[in-house]
Structure 1
Amino acid sequence: MIVRSKAPLRLGLAGGGSDVSPYSNIYGGLILNATINLYAYCTIEETDNGQIVIDAFDSHCHKSYPSAKLLMIDGDASLIKGVYNRIIHDYDLEAKSFKITTYNDAPAGSGLGTSSTMVVCILKAFIEWLSLPLGDYETSRLAYEIERKDLGLSGGKQDQYAAAFGGFNYMEFLPNDIVIVNPLKMKRWIVDELEASMVLYFTGASRSSAAIIDEQKKNTSSGNQTAIEAMHRIKQSAVDMKLALLKGDMAEFARIIGQAWEDKKKMANGITNPIIQKAFDVALAAGAKAGKVSGAGGGGFIMFVVEPVRKCEVVESLQRLDGFVMPFQFSDGGAHGWKIYPTDKV
Structure 2
Amino acid sequence: MKISITSPTRVDLAGGTLDCWPLFLLLPRRRCQTVNLSIDINTNVELVPGKDSVVHVAISDYNYSKTFNNLDELLQCNDKALVLIKEHVAFWMPQTGFTLTTQSQSPVGGGLGGSSSLSISLLKAFSKWQERPLEINKLVYLAHNIEARVLQTPTGTQDYFPAAEPGLHIIDYSVEGPESEILKPDATYLQERMVLVYTGVPHHSGINNWQVIKESIARNQNTLSALEEVADIADQVAQVCRQGQWNELAPLFEREFQARVRLSAGFSSPEIEQLRGHVLQAGAKAVKICGAGGGGCVMIWTEPDRRSEVLQACQKNNFQVLDAKPVVRPQE
Aligned residue identity for 1:108: V
Partner of 1:58: 61
1:45 aligns with 2:48: yes
The 5-angstrom pairing of residues 13-52 of structure 1 reads: 13-27=13-27, 28-52=31-55
The residue number in structure 2 matching 1:156 is 156
Query: 1:230-269 CA distances to partner (integer Å, 9 max, x unpaired)?
Result: 1111112222112222333233111111111111111223
Q: TM-score, normalised by structure 2?
A: 0.92
The whole-number CA distance in structure 1 between the counterparts of 2:286 and 2:150 is 38
If the length of structure 1 is used for normalisation, what is the TM-score? 0.88
CA distance in 2, matches of 1:301, 1:215: 21
Deviations 1:272-327 (CA, angstroms, capped at 9, x unpaired): 11111000000011011111211010111111111210110011011112321123
The residue aligned with 2:120 is 120
Look up the equivalent residue of 1:72 and give its one-letter code. Q
**Cα displacement (A) at 1:100:** 0.6
Aligned to 1:175: 175
The residue type paired with residue 323 of structure 1 is F
Distance 1:316 1:150, change over 3 A: closer
Change (3 A) 1:207 1:73: farther
Q: Which residue of 2 aligns with 1:205?
A: 201
Q: Does 1:134 align with 2:139?
A: no
Match of 1:71 among 63, 75, 85: 75
2:267 pairs with 1:271: yes
Q: 1:149: Cα distance to partner?
A: 4.2
Q: Percent identity?
A: 27
Counterparts in 2 of 1:217 and 1:73: CA distance versus 1, 3 Å? farther
Select which of 257, 264, 267 maps to 2:253: 257
Deviation at 1:76, TM superposition (A): 3.3
Structure 1: segments with no counterpart, 5+ residues: 337-346
Q: Which residue of 2 aligns with 1:311?
A: 307
- Aligned counterparts of 2:63 and 2:223: Cα–Cα separation in 1: 36
When the two structures are aligned, how many residues end up with a matched partner?
A: 327
Q: Aligned residue for 1:342?
A: none
Residue 159 of structure 1 aligns with an amino acid whose one-letter code is D
Give the structure with the larger helix fraction.
2
In 2, distance between residues paired with 1:247 and 1:171? 16
Give, in whole Å, the separation in 1 of the partners of 2:264 and 2:77: 30
Whether contact under 8 Å (1:241, 1:256) holds in the other structure is: yes
Q: Which range moved further: 24-33 or 326-335? A: 326-335
Aligned-partner residue type, residue 29 of structure 1: C
SS of equivalent residue, structure 2 residue 76: coil
Shift of residue 183, structure 1, vs aligned partner: 1.2
Equivalent of 2:215, from 206, 214, 219? 219
1:112 counterpart SS class: coil
C-alpha RMSD of matched pairs (Å): 2.0
**Structure 2 stretches lacking a partner, 5+ long:** none
- Quote the Cα distance in structure 2 between the aligned partners of 1:105 and 1:150: 20
Distance 2:203 2:331 in 1: 25
Q: How far does residue 81 in structure 1 lie from its aligned partner after superposition? A: 0.9
Residues 1:212 and 1:134: Cα distance change in structure 2 (over 3 Å): same
Show the 5 A alignment for 1:270-289: 270-289=266-285
